[in-house]
Amino acid sequence: MFGCGNNGAMTTAIYPAAIESNFDGLVGPTHNYAGLAHGNVASAKNADQPSNPREAALQGLRKMRALAELGMAQGVLPPQERPHIPTLKALGFSGKDADILAKVAREAPGLLAAVSSASSMWTANAATVSPSADCGDGKVHFTPANLASHLHRSLEPATTARALAATFPAGQHFVHHAPLPATPAMGDEGAANHTRLCAGYGDAGLELFVYGAGSEAEPKPQKYPARQTRAACEAIARLHGLDGERVHHQQQRPEVIDQGVFHNDVIAVGNRELLFFHEEAFVDSRALRDWTRARLPEAEFVEVATKDVSVADAVSSYLFNSQLLCLPGTKGHTLIVAQECQENGKVWACIQRLVADETCPIEAAQVFDLRQSMHNGGGPACLRLRVVLTDAERTAVNPGSWITPERADALESWVRRHYRDRLVLADLADPALLDECRTALDRLTQLLGLGSIYDFQR
Ligand code: SUG
């Protein structure tokens, strides 16, 4: 029996009912392909291609609007200020903004690309979030990811923390921790390596943390970096006040990191009682299953075999980077997949098989064109941060951050007005682009009611 309303109606918990909300990252005006992410196959493959920031942002907004129309609680998180002049100043560049841009473009073009990346769009890497039912103090806890593995991503946490605090105001319901120390020993990439399983969203859940780098004795990838450390996962579990009995740490297979699985959400996704994953995702999937079943008897596992979908096909299609949702009014789970899944014969056949199988809790799939993000290795699940909320918590969220039909319209007009439809790396030094971004973001903070979260506004 896979009953699966969106409000945890099946449970008889002492906890208040809760829903899963999704906060997608709005793609920023400097969206570009700079090949910055080592170990991310799509980022390397599309390096130096022209991008279309306007189309990227509109593709993301179409997904947000569609999920809101399907009855999901859909929110939005703002992009960041890019190019980030304060970082360039901190690294010794001085003078007027236009002079700084000209100088960095001449002397350190890689640095210009790093401070111009729109990578904050992938909000699955913004933070790790634990719902109030899992935390000792009964509040929702957020720890922004330090994203220490890559320079361009390590620039995100300070503004991410401000955006999260503006969206989920600290106080009665929300607790915000500082990012962990930004050093390789504490590498943390947020919710992309964290899965919560539960009977109903409002019940105490099981929190699964997946790491790439553990103890010296554990196997390591040979080619690409392991971005998430076990030490970071343990620190977050402590900070959030999680019950140790309900936390499982599992190592990602180093061999798949070397094939381009730079986050666990490229090879596994969970929702409510269901874990959907590839045969090669974990070092010990048997232990993971046994541990989960012992604590959550209703747990379901849908494991895809390598003979059906290879790791290479999983990486190129992002099958497991689908969103797995319980849509209101439906019984099972719905997969929100990237168009690349439909274009891969083996992957599409696998999806069709799962949907047709009456014993499989996945009952439908919906396809979205997210190609602009996909070309940088960001699929449907990368673009969203999940936050489980009770009614009281939901009303404490900044009202302007929710996607309503009117706000989706306003954001689309804002994108059409402020975004370019073509960007190449040489454009990043254009001082007009910096001005365009600041004008756009200033307007956006008013539109979303976020206050002054950007450095240029302070
Ligand atoms: O960190 N790509 C991102 C993609 C992040 C996807 N997120 C999740 N799987 N949750 C990254 O690798 C590419 C930027 C560039 O090359 O221009 C980039 O940063």
pLDDT exceeding 90 applies to what percent of the chain?
Answer: 96
Ligand 1 atom closest to Cα of 46? Answer: 16
User: The domain spanning residue 30 has which CATH number?
Assistant: 3.75.10.20
- In three-state secondary structure terms, 230 is helix
Q: What angle do CA 241, 247, 248 make, to 5 degrees?
A: 150
In the predicted structure, residue 13 carries a pLDDT above the cut 70: no
Smallest Cα–Cα separation from 19: which of 327, 276, 402?
327
| 52, 119, 257, 370: residue to mutate for ligand 1 pocket, most atoms within 8 A of CB | 119
pLDDT single digits (tens) 121-175: 999 999 999 999 999 999 999 999 999 999 999 999 999 999 999 999 999 999 9
Q: In the structure, how many helices (H) and strands (E) does the chain have?
A: 17, 15
pLDDT single digits (tens) 37-47: 999 999 999 99
| 51, 193, 262: residue to mutate for ligand 1 pocket, most atoms within 8 A of CB | 262
> Quick check: 26 and 79 in contact, CB under 8 A?
yes
Pocket of ligand 1 (CB under 6 A): 33-37, 40, 43, 117, 119, 122, 124-125, 153, 192, 262-263, 265-266, 376-378, 382
Active site residue 189: yes
Active site residue 263: yes
Confidence class for position 331, pLDDT limits 50, 70, 90? confident
Polymer length in residues for the chain = 458
User: 184 C-alpha to center of ligand 1: Å?
Assistant: 18
- Name the closest-CA residue to atom 6, ligand 1: 378
pLDDT single digits (tens) 334-347: 999 999 999 999 99
> pLDDT value at position 16?
80
| 30, 32, 111, 125: residue to mutate for ligand 1 pocket, most atoms within 8 A of CB | 125
pLDDT single digits (tens) 46-57: 999 999 999 999
* Residues in Cβ contact with 131 at an 8 Å cutoff, skipping those fewer than 6 apart: 18, 140, 196, 201, 205, 387, 388, 389
> Quick check: 218 and 251 in contact, CB under 8 A?
yes
| 43, 194, 423: residue to mutate for ligand 1 pocket, most atoms within 8 A of CB | 43
Which tokens hold the place of 31? 């969206």
Smallest Cα–Cα separation from 17: which of 274, 199, 201?
201
Q: Which of 263, 333, 375, 418 is catalytic?
A: 263
Ligand 1 atom closest to Cα of 376? Answer: 13
Distance between CA atoms of 319 and 344, rounded to whole angstroms? 10
pTM: 0.96
pLDDT single digits (tens) 263-303: 999 999 999 999 999 999 999 999 999 999 999 999 999 99
* Full domain range(s) for residue 145: 2-457
Q: Which of 382, 393, 418, 437 is catalytic?
A: 382
Ligand 1 atom closest to Cα of 381? Answer: 10
User: 391 C-alpha to center of ligand 1: Å?
Assistant: 33
User: 172 C-alpha to center of ligand 1: Å?
Assistant: 34
Q: Is 1 exposed, middle or buried (0-12, 13-18, 19+ CB in 10 A)?
A: exposed
Count of domains observed in the chain: 1
In the predicted structure, residue 187 carries a pLDDT above the cut 60: yes
- Name the closest-CA residue to atom 5, ligand 1: 378
Distance between CA atoms of 225 and 260, rounded to whole angstroms? 10
What is the arithmetic mean of pLDDT over 435-450? 98
Residue 453: φ, ψ to 5°: -100, -10
pLDDT single digits (tens) 353-400: 999 999 999 999 999 999 999 999 999 999 999 999 999 999 999 999
Residue 25: φ, ψ to 5°: -85, 130
Ligand 1 atom closest to Cα of 189? Answer: 10
Ligand 1 atom closest to Cα of 32? Answer: 17
Distance between CA atoms of 245 and 240, rounded to whole angstroms? 14
Number of Cα atoms under 13 Å in the Cβ half of residue 402: 14
